[in-house]
A and B are shown apart, each in its own frame.
Chain A
Amino acid sequence: MTPRTLTRLCLVLATAIAASTGALSERIEALLLTETAGTLGGDLVLREREAPSPEVSRTAQDMGLQIAQEISMPTLAFHGDDSELIGLRVVDSQWPLRGVVHTDNGAESSGPPAGSVWIATALADALQIRRDDELEIGARRFRVAAIADEAPGRGNAGFSSLAPQVLMNRADLETTGLLIAGARSRWYTYVAGEPDALAAFRRWAESASLLVEEPGEVRPEIGNALDRASRLLELATLCSLVLLAAVVFLLGRYRHPQWAYETAVLRSIGAGRRRIWKRLGTPWMTDLLASVAVGLVLTAAGQTLLGAVLLRIEDISLPSSSGLPYLVAALASFAVAGIQLPQLRRAIATPPALLFRQGDQDQAALATGSLWAAVSVLLVSSLVSHNPLIIATSVGVVLGGGLILSLAAWGVLRLLPEGGPLTALGQLQRQGWLTAVQVGALGLGLSILLLLGGLQSQIIAPWQAQLPPDAPNRFVINIQPDQRERLADTLAAKGIHDARLMPMVRGRLVALNGKAVSVDDFDDPETQRWINRDFNLSSAAELPADNGLRKGTFWEPDSNEREISADVYAVERLGLDIGSTLTLDIAGTPYQYTVTSLREVHWDSMQPNFFLVVPPRALPEAGASWITSYYQPPELHSLDRELVQQFPNLTLLNLERLISEIRRITGRALTALQFVFSFTLISGLLLVVSMLLGQLPMRKRQIAIMRALGISRKQLQKLIQAEFALLGFIAGAGCVVVVQVSLGLLASQVFDMPWKPQSAGIFLPPVLAGLLSGWGGWRLLRGATLTPPARLLSAT
């Protein structure tokens, strides 16, 4: 394989990687958004405290969008003498625009018909009613037509709607008499349609100061999962592209002497610069265009195949991607190929005198080439990712990892006692920087291989394990202090021992950094909404495992100080930092807390978590209630009813559907990741191959000379095998360190996960790398040892 062929291969691969991952990300994101839109009930939702102006519907319809409306309010539902606080959701005939309502009759694509209601199991249990019983809401009686626990809609998100839900037809609302002035009603306008029209509508709504939410924003758990998946995809893609850029750079170095020689010969026979450019530049440009075209065709075919495979396996249809990823990929490939341009340009400036001093290395070409390569890598990176941390990590992993490995190898070889020229160590020591660069390349290839394994076992598996089969699927809130023990006993009697009980008090923010604040002090509608209602404040003795510490230090368990730890949501909304003070009005008494740590909550852990947490001793007892979560196995289905009967004031939330949704998202993300990782691995192998290819002529010459001097083939075999084995061993040892550090950085900076270095099996990579490298080196050079020295010498 020649450097030119390898360059073509790299460019095909670079195009395919950038286009495939771009298209795949776009398609999976679109798919996930569609699916989560199904949970939301639309692609966008507008939330208002009063009836939306007719302009909202008009504008949406003008843009070709569908709309549906929901009015939700808390009220009481009566059955006989019993009553229960409910979350009433009144929906029109268009609702839901996305998704279905899961009832005991099956999946329904619209709300209840007029005159009937659908109620949640919790309400049926609390009031002891069944289907076809009557339920009194406001001034009307309704027939309970179905039990519906899972319905799309904003009211289904998070814990904002805690009371059992009741779905009612919009046509019945007026007759209930509930819609009066001062009713605590919320008006939701669901919007669905084409992405461009949605984007335009969103811009219009925001300019009209309307509060717009999308699935990812509404559901922090899903937003988290999506965000991590896209970060990992970007990282793997960038690592591949940076690696390929390094390979293309190396190949440019190998092609430079040939270009320079051709230039010198052409000049010596009188060719002008333009003719030489045409002669050398045309094949270069043709290669680039052809490779990009092949890469794009392969991507399109791969995407079709992938869609077909996913369709077959998961019974879902992937939305098609736009042309943008293909365009970005073509540009990225141009930037990667451009790495060779300075070397081609320098070669074309070669004087004919080169013919008399062959073998001279053009150091200026190396310097300008390196600088240009750095610019190209940054260009490619910024085309593929907009996250500076991801760009820095991938460039750092590839270039930094290679450099560190090279330097370490160079240092180790200098420290070891000098070996003779016919020993493996002596050979490596005498090759100096060449050995170091080889170790860097081989170590990098190995690092990527190990990183993939490490990611799978040390990051992705624990990431999935955050949602184990027994992830909490029930949340119970409003537990009174005197009910804690009894509730725990009841759960324990059913075999549930791991329910995490957390206290919760409600407080209102009255001052920030000693200065009184109100809604008007904040411009952001989301912050205004948050400020305008009570915060849920909890306590924790230690930093929960599913919380990542971003800044500051978490308190000691027995801290008596009025400290507070804020999640990034609160940090961003209120502009908090370490040392900021928050004054909260709790049950009429102001409490001032100082921020001592900033956290990032992993909402997809499904454990109870809070934006604001204080030490246990700093949480006022007044008005405190408790919250817990636990896993309820399917066979304990009746436990929900028993709990509601035993503790009528408790609110019980069933999260099974949400959990299965997150599992689906992580599953999809993993499929996409494995696809991208295979590209990264090929890029790593190409780097190793191109390194070996580059030194092949020099190696062959060495072997020829040694053979001419009389070394036996057996001696030569031992020498080559030992040298490559030692090289592989050093590279393997170095890559263990690089991989552990990279995994640590990835875990803490990208995945926000706790991580500890692994000591088990650390000797395996150096030993295996040594064996493989020894075998590979001998395979590569075996032919040269069999060729008569006369032929080798005449060829070199």
Chain B
Amino acid sequence: MSIVASRTNTPARIVGQIAKWLVLGFFFAFTFLPLVWLLISSFKTNLELQMRPFALPETWQFINYVKAVSISGLPRLFLNSILVSSMSTALAMLVTSMAGFVFSRESFFFRQGLLNLILAGVLVPIIALMAPYFRLTNALGIYDSLWALVFTYTAINIPISTFLIYGFMKTLPAELEEAAIIDGTGFFGRYWRIILPLTKPGMVTAGTFVFLFSWNEFIYALLLTSRPAVRTLQLGIRFFNSQFFTDYTSMFAAIVLTMLPTIIIYVVLHEQIIKGMTSGALKG
């Protein structure tokens, strides 16, 4: 927005500017400093970390990084996390966009009740679901596989995903499809060629939630897998826990190592994501 240039610098504006940058700066510090701290701490010894957490390391403990790298299969865990998170996101997007399309465009018996039921799922505390999910996963025969995680993560995120995508689809007017219907486009065509592309902003938002959830999830990643070959990053990071002691500094080194590709992927994708969010929108 280039309107700002036309304004003169009244005292109120200057105060406004200062306030604005204070706010931005405050949140910047809040979010960025932990990362810096994490990086520095990853070069300390555990005792140093405990007793002098905010000083610079006495000697830079590169051995922490050696330890982090040498735990078996860190790259494999990373790959698994990417696979599981991507698959969960893709599946969730597919399933909930299909449902959102039907909920927002068709009317049928139970429509409102069903919708409310699904959305109410956002209230369920996930820890309480350990016993049922374990049984379900075993009953389906997918215990100890990536699919167990994919289905679980997709399912857990159905309420929030539906919430966001359906909410977005509702704002797309019916007229958009009328021309297509007259042209003879079928049900699937309306969904795939018209509504879905326009829902990108909603899908991107929902997708971000699902991806992050799957990426950070730990309890079910542990519960539903056994072999190291199907384990995810969060378990690898806990590798540094043990019964009476946690090797935080090596854990931080592992986190830093995995953070870098994560951040790169995120930064690269984010541009795409934001482009996605703002294109196809109701501009002008």
Q: Do A and B bind each other?
A: no
Q: Give A contacts to B, CB under 8 Å.
A: none
